Structure 1
Amino acid sequence: MSTDLSASFNEQYMNINTKMKKRFMRKPNVSEATNEFIALAIQCEHSDQPAFAGHSYVGAAKCEASVGNFLGEAEHFLAAARQFMKAEKKLKSLKFYSGDRENLEAATGCYVQALQKYPDKSPLRTSILMELASDLIELNHKCEAASYYEQALEMVQESTMKVMCMRNLLNLKIDCGKYDVALEIANKICDSNLNIPEAITAEVQVSRILLTLLEKPPEDSKPLSLKQLFTDLMNDNESNAIPLNTDIRLKLQSIIICHTAGDIHSLISVAADTKQFLTMQQVELLHALIKEHAVC
């Protein structure tokens, strides 16, 4: 590419398109055009111009679509999505924020185009949705990411993957301040028949306790397992449903007692000693609980 990368790219891109149009009255050599778009994309990648590379892969995808090669089309749309996402991350690393989100919108559109080429129950659709969600989380667009995790969750069949997806969605909803939805998800995880590792059960149960204190659901709307969780915790009953060590049990008991009594000073003190046992999302819930009492 010349030093004027934009002009060089536009010229090469238009040349490939022009070749296709000139051959329109004849049978166009789609394979040749596809290869030229891919070569241009690789050239752009080597020049560290991911957005240009993304456009080139879109050109290749359209070529494949014109001859009904839907798997090839999907492959190139995925390559384009990853390049556009790379361009967006590059802007973020430079602390340059684009109001129109051009690269991000292009990436999302290409991911969606790619997944639509696969059958409804294809694991590849799930993988694409989770890849998109993961990228959005990295870019701190967590509420957008949650919507793609929800879509992925509808397709996941494998037990371990389903548990991890639900756990990620739970934490994303907490990050987005959707505590009511997060509590519903936590209840579903604990009431499911899935084989949940003990460490994840413990993590979800702690989140569940803090979410319940924040949301204060009516007693008659609480699932039986949630009521039993509080009963077992406050009465020191041993249960597989709450595989918590003694330290965190005592801290949670203290938080519940301070919260119920409205003792904000003791709550702040207990919270400071409890944070070391909690995830980032759980610390956020604890801060929200303290803030609630401070306002009152």
Structure 2
Amino acid sequence: MAAEGDFLLRYRAVSNKLKRRFLRKPNVAEASEQFGQLAKELKQEECLQYAGFCNLAVARCEQTLFNAPGEALALTDAARLFLQAEKETQKLQCPGFEEHLQAATNCYSFAIKVYIELNQPVMAASLCLELGNALKEMNKPAEASVHFQRAAELQSQVPIECLLSLGKVATCKIITRAFMDVIARCEVSRVLLLMLLQPPPQKLLLEHAQTLEKYDWESFDSHSQVNYLPENIFLLLQSVVMACQEKDLESLKVLQVELWPLLTPEQNHLLHLVLQEVLSPSGRGV
């Protein structure tokens, strides 16, 4: 049985067989078979990422042999192994950079490309759906929707399947929109808190300064920087920032009336405190 410790030794031994020697062609088919066997042993020992690398080596061998179906199959096996490795990492809550997920995504993409070249859109679409479902399970609806959309495009000749894939796209869009709503609420609260605290410029953190810059009247197309906010709320917040900078209490009172039905109770309380701060003789100004 293969062990994680001797993986590199065995991998290199097989790789060396692929080197060209004088008057001898490398036996690529034999190397492919040996890489495949090593992958099976590593998978049994739950060394998933190493098994994935071995399947990638199989795919390269099959490409050299001009065996596109074999290449696509090996790429798919590698993708699934890397994906399983990523799930195990997340399950254990280990810190990482999602490198296994990136490897899986790349393998799926290459396998999809091979199936498209083989004029097998159904197989390509099934892999798009497989990757999309995995990403959705990992709370990555935005990334998942891209692959569901591609599946729908590949299923143009099968309307029912295409509609089902588009339904998955719609679901991801709805979930993503919910995430955007959370971001939007945080943005409004952040701006109101900054107006309440009014930190002097020399004590203003860079991230807070960048937040306020987005609401500068002189910024070009500043709404594009916060497109997760409805334009009417953005413009009202922009006016609040300007009114606070000018200590324009009357304008703030008008803005409070307009914003009241658009904000949460907590945000309305913050806005009320902002008005009190501006009204107070000790108001510091931003």
Normalised to the residue count of structure 1, the TM-score between the two structures is 0.58
Deviations 1:157-181 (A, max 9, x none): 323212221221111111112799x
Q: In the superposition, relative to structure 1, how do residues 23 and 170 fare at CA in structure 2: closer, same or farther (>3 Å)?
A: same
Q: One-letter code of the match for 2:162?
A: K
Q: Deviations over 1:61-90 (max 9, x none)?
A: 000111211111111000000000010011
8 Å contact kept, 1:34–1:64: yes
Alignment of 1:7-26 (within 5 A): 7-21=5-19, 23=21, 25-26=23-24
User: Which consecutive aligned stretches of 4+ in structure 1 deviate over 6 angstroms post-superposition?
Assistant: none
Shift in alpha-carbon separation, 1:77–1:40, aligned structure 2, 3 A? same
CA separation in 1, counterparts of 2:22 and 2:78? Answer: 25
Structure 1 range deviating more: 79-88 or 168-177: 168-177
Taking the TM superposition and a 5 Å limit, the aligned residue runs for 1:140-219 are: 140-157=139-156, 158-177=158-177
Per-residue CA shift, 1:192-223, capped at 9, x if unaligned? xxxxxxxxxxxxxxxxxxxxxx989xxxxxxx
CA contact (8 A) 1:173 1:179 kept: no
Distance in 1 separating the partners of 2:8 and 2:70: 24
The answer on whether the counterparts of 1:179 and 1:215 sit within 8 Å (CA) in structure 2 is no
Tell me the equivalent position of 1:114. 111
SS at match of 2:110: helix
- Alignment check: 8 A CA contact 2:39 2:52 kept: yes
Q: Shift in Å at residue 53 of structure 1?
A: 0.6
Gaps of 5+ in 2: 181-228, 232-258, 269-286
Superposed CA deviations along residues 232-253 of structure 1, whole A, max 9, x for unmatched, are xxxxxxxxxxxxxxxxxxxxxx
Shift of 1:23: 4.4
Question: CA 1:31–1:102 in 2, change beyond 3 Å: closer, same or farther?
Answer: same
Q: Distance in 2 between matches of 1:86 and 1:116?
A: 22
Q: What is the deviation of 1:152?
A: 1.4
Identity of aligned residues (%): 30
Tell whether the 8 Å contact from 2:121 to 2:155 is kept in structure 1 after alignment.
no
Structure 1 residues 91, 68: CA separation in 2 closer, same or farther (over 3 Å shift)? same
Distance 1:31 1:121 in 2: 25
SS in 1 for 2:114: coil
Distance 1:18 1:36, change over 3 A: same
Q: Where does residue 95 of structure 1 map in the other structure?
A: 93
CA contact (8 A) 2:59 2:75 kept: yes
Q: Using the alignment, how far apart are the partners of 2:134 and 2:22 within structure 1?
A: 39
Aligned match of 2:208: none
Q: Displacement of 1:92 after TM fit?
A: 1.0
CA distance in 2, matches of 1:25, 1:38: 27
Following the alignment from structure 1 to structure 2, what is the Cα–Cα distance between the partners of residues 159 and 292? 43
TM-score, length-scaled by structure 2: 0.60
Corresponding position of 2:70: 72
Q: Distance in 2 between matches of 1:88 and 1:152?
A: 23
Shift of 1:54: 0.3
2:132 is equivalent to residue 133 of structure 1:
yes
Q: How many residues align?
A: 190
For the 8 Å contact 2:17–2:27, the answer to whether it is kept is: no
**Residues in 2 aligned to 1:121 and 1:72: alpha-carbon distance in whole angstroms:** 14
Report the Cα distance in structure 2 between the residues aligned to 1:60 and 1:24, rounded to whole angstroms. 24
Match of 2:102 in 1: 105
Contact 1:92 1:139 in 2 (8 A): no
1:215–1:9: structure 2 CA closer, same or farther, 3 Å change rule? Answer: same
Secondary structure at 1:41's aligned position in 2? helix
Q: Matches of 1:55 and 1:107 in 2, distance apart? A: 11
2:166 and 2:102 mapped to 1: Cα distance?
Answer: 26
Q: Structure 1's 17 and 75: CA in aligned 2 closer, same or farther, altered over 3 A?
A: same
Give the conservation status (yes or no) of the 8 Å contact 1:121–1:155.
no
CA contact (8 A) 2:29 2:65 kept: no
TM-superposed deviation, 1:7? 2.8
Retained in 2: the 8 A contact 1:129–1:151?
yes
* Pairs within 5 Å for 1:19-34: 19-21=17-19, 23=21, 25-34=23-32
Deviation at 1:121, TM superposition (A): 6.2
